């Protein structure tokens, strides 16, 4: 489904359509294309990331409005450290700014914040803001907002294997007891259901080391290259959920109506 296939309807009409179908419990988003969005407009790449912050706010508000239970955002990968230092520093500063600007609104909307990944390499300022945000929202029971920050799925899986092996070595867990459910408890996402739906903007058609283990039966949605994250507004988000509702999730079972 590309940009041309989106329904040209008002947000209210899209909302009414969505309410007639199943709402995905857990949506994960790869927010791609910020830098390219800015470059196409002859602007510094950081301006694309700044505009992406405004998109994020729109998507968060919409997620609360339609009753999404879990929203996971790929904010910064373990591979993103390879980018120029000025861009990495700008990204970190924007994250700190975003938390400071919107934490009260997030808390007022009953959003609970968690972080997936290793935040130890981050600046002390950003770590403090993240810690304060997690503490402030810890008792909230609305939308669970998980921010994948310095996150890489392969590193997550490898870390889980090491932790499981250590528990087996210590006798805390037997090898025979290590099934999929127990192994999942060693992942960063141990308190989250697997995502029902992963959205990627920006025109790339891959997961880029994001939730590889958890996405075994996730529905995937990729926008075209003409839709970068800063352009992914409320209407585009609602349209993507409509696409999710059109799909038939069989989990390996046979569709008796279609015989497949």
List active site positions. 32, 80
SS3 for 74?
Answer: strand
Q: What are phi and psi of 243, to 5 degrees?
A: -65, -40
SS3 for 205?
Answer: coil
Residue 92 and residue 81 in contact, taking contact as beta carbons nearer than 8 Å: no
Residue 4 and residue 198 in contact, taking contact as beta carbons nearer than 8 Å: no
Residue 127 has a CB neighbour count (10 Å cut-off) of: 15
List b or e across 13-33, with b for residues whose CB sees 16 or more CB atoms inside 10 angstroms: ebbebbeeeebbebbbbbbbb
The C-alpha atoms of residue 135 and residue 125 are separated, in whole angstroms, by 15
Strands 219-222 and 112-116: what pairing? unpaired
The C-alpha atoms of residue 256 and residue 260 are separated, in whole angstroms, by 7
Residue 29 and residue 59 in contact, taking contact as beta carbons nearer than 8 Å: yes
């Amino acid at each position: 489904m590309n940009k041309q296939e989106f329904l040209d309807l008002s947000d209210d009409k899209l909302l009414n359509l969505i309410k007639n179908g199943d709402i995905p419990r857990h949506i994960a988003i790869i927010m791609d294309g910020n830098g390219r969005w800015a470059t196409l407009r002859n602007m510094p790449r950081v301006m694309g990331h700044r505009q992406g912050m405004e998109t994020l706010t729109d998507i968060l508000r919409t997620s609360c409005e339609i009753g999404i239970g879990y929203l996971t955002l790929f904010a910064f990968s373990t591979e993103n450290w390879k980018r120029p230092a000025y861009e990495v520093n700008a990204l970190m500063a924007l994250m700190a700014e975003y938390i400071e600007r919107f934490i009260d609104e997030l808390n007022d909307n009953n959003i609970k914040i968690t972080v997936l990944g290793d935040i130890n390499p981050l600046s002390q300022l950003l770590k403090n803001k993240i810690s304060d945000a997690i503490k402030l929202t810890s008792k909230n029971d609305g939308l669970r907002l998980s921010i994948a920050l310095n996150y890489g799925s392969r590193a997550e899986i490898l870390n889980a294997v090491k932790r499981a092996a250590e528990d087996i070595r210590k006798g805390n867990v037997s090898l025979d007891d290590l099934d999929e459910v127990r192994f999942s408890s060693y992942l960063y996402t141990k308190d989250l259901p697997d995502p029902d739906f992963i959205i990627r903007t920006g025109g790339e058609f891959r997961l880029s080391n994001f939730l590889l283990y958890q996405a075994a039966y996730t529905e995937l949605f990729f926008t075209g290259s003409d839709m970068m994250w800063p352009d992914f507004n409320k209407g585009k988000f609602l349209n993507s959920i409509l696409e999710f509702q059109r799909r038939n999730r069989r989990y390996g079972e046979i569709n008796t109506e279609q015989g497949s």
